[in-house]
Amino acid sequence: MFGLVQQSGLAQPARDQAQQAELLRLTPGALARRLNGQRLSSQLWANRSLIGSISASLVRTMLTGGQGARYRLLGHLWIELQRFLAPNVTNVDLPDLGVDTTLVEGDVTRHCRLVLAAMGRLLQCRTVFEIGTYLGQTTWVVAHNNPDAQVFTLDLPSLDAVHQLRYQVTDPEYFVVWNRGARFRGTPEAARITQLFGDSATFDFSPYFGTMDLVFIDGSHSYDYVKSDTEAALRLLSDRGTIVWDDYLYYPGIYRVVTELSPQLDRPIFHIVGTRLAVYSRLDILQQGWPEHHASPISAPQEAAAATEPEPGRLVRA
Ligand X SMILES: C[S@@+](CC[C@H](N)C(=O)[O-])C[C@H]1O[C@@H](n2cnc3c(N)ncnc32)[C@H](O)[C@@H]1O
- Residue ranges binding ligand X (CB under 6 A): 130, 132-135, 137-138, 154-156, 165, 169, 174, 199-201, 218-220, 225
Q: Which is nearer to ligand X, 189 or 199 (CB)?
A: 199
The neighbouring-strand residues paired with 212 are 237
Residue nearest ligand X (C-beta atom): 132
Closest separation in Å from C-beta 51 to ligand X:
39
Closest separation in Å from C-beta 174 to ligand X:
4
DSSP 266: S
Q: Which is nearer to ligand X, 151 or 283 (CB)?
A: 151
Closest separation in Å from C-beta 204 to ligand X:
13
Residue type, 121: R
Separation of alpha carbons 241 and 145, rounded Å: 18
Closest separation in Å from C-beta 202 to ligand X:
9
Residues 6+ apart with CB under 8 A from 155: 132, 133, 134, 180, 181, 195, 196, 197, 219
Rg of the chain on CA atoms, in Å: 22
Q: Which is nearer to ligand X, 121 or 183 (CB)?
A: 183
For the chain, what is the total number of helices (H) and then of strands (E)?
11, 8
200-234 per-residue burial string, b: 16 or more CB within 10 A, e: under 16: bbebebeebbbbbbbbbbbbbbbbebbbbbbebbb
Closest separation in Å from C-beta 137 to ligand X:
4
Q: Which is nearer to ligand X, 176 or 295 (CB)?
A: 176
Q: Which is nearer to ligand X, 132 or 301 (CB)?
A: 132
